[in-house]
């Protein structure tokens, strides 16, 4: 009788253990849906490397953007569906034409690209095969492109040498461009109170056809006191003390 109870208990233990393991996988335990970005080596001699942005959705769809780092204006867009493996720790992307499949291992806050046989891809840099997840509240390390300045829409044209933008670095430094000159400076950020301010903004001394946009942009940055982020984290609005919108920027995840 005791042996029967022992065997039954052991059997139930292993059933319970297996059941727990089946539930405890990347698909069920991680917040995996969202936007990821990373860079990869390129096999083309005309391309210095690839910048990639991948969005995966809970309904099994994905959207992808990819461009050469030395020509980010030419972006290849693709989309399709993905499937999970039986263990629930890898996804395989299948494009619309079902001509290409790419497999990633799903890890905490990142995707690791695998080779066709499911093995890790080994590069000189361990980060070369990693896509890191972007959170909806992330401000640092993002290329924020200027799209609106004091009520005026900003469009890239021949009068601007480069897109006006800013990057907020982890150590409190600012870099970017006013559309002509390169910018640098510092910022302070209070994410709890959603306050931000800039100081010591300097620039290079090049002359360009459109210097007005740059001057207004720098002046507006110096007036900024508060900010807000859109729900998806892709639009950053900056305001003065009275809540007046001064600057609106959009995230360009391909530029890393």
Per-residue pLDDT tens over the stretch 195-208: 999 999 999 999 98
Closest CA to 99 of 86, 76, 80: 80
| Rounded CA separation 128/121 (Å) | 9
Report whether 158 contacts 79 (CB < 8 A). no
Query: CA 138, 176, 151: angle at the middle one, nearest 5?
Result: 80
Is the whole-model pTM more than 0.95? no
CA distance 216 to 28: 49
Q: What integer pLDDT is reported at residue 219 of this predicted model?
A: 97
* 2 domain-assigned: no
Total tally of structural domains belonging to the chain: 2
- Domain boundary residue among 134, 165, 193? 134
Domain final residue pick, 134, 160, 183: 134
Q: What would the pLDDT profile of 5-36 be if each residue is shown by its tens digit?
A: 444 454 444 444 444 455 689 999 999 999 99
**Do 124 and 44 have their domain in common?**
yes
Distance CA 115, CA 102 (A): 8
pLDDT band at 40, cuts 50/70/90? confident
Domain end position, chosen among 79, 108, 134: 134
Q: What are phi and psi of 244, to 5 degrees?
A: -80, 130
**DSSP H or E stretch at residue 93:** strand 90-95
Examine the domain organization and report whether 60 and 130 are in the same domain: yes
Return the structure tokens found at 98.
């079902």
Residue span of the structural domain in which 78 resides: 28-134
Burial status of residue 110 (CB atoms within 10 A of its CB: 0-12, 13-18, 19 or more): middle
């Amino acid at each position: 009788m005791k042996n029967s109870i022992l065997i039954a208990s052991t059997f139930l233990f292993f059933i319970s253990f297996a059941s727990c393991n089946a539930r405890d996988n990347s698909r069920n335990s991680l917040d995996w849906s969202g936007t990821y970005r990373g860079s990869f080596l390129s096999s083309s001699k005309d391309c210095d490397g690839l910048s990639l942005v991948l969005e995966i959705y809970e309904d099994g769809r994905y959207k992808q953007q990819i461009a050469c780092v030395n020509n980010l204006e030419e972006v290849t867009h693709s989309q399709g569906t993905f499937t999970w493996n039986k263990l629930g720790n890898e996804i395989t992307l299948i494009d619309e034409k079902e001509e290409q499949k790419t497999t990633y291992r799903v890890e905490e806050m990142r995707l690791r690209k695998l080779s066709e046989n499911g093995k890790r891809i080994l590069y000189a840099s361990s980060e070369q095969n990693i896509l890191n997840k972007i959170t909806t509240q992330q401000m640092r390390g993002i290329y924020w492109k200027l799209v609106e300045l004091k009520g005026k829409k900003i469009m890239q044209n021949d009068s601007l040498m480069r897109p006006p933008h800013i990057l907020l670095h982890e150590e409190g430094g600012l870099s970017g461009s006013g559309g002509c000159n390169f910018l640098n400076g510092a910022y302070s950020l209070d994410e709890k109170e959603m306050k931000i301010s800039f100081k010591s903004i300097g620039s290079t001394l090049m002359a360009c056809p459109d210097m007005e946009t740059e001057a207004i942009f720098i002046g507006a940055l110096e007036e900024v006191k508060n900010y807000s982020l859109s729900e998806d984290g892709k639009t950053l609005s900056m305001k003065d003390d009275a809540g007046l919108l001064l600057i609106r920027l959009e995230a360009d995840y391909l530029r890393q």
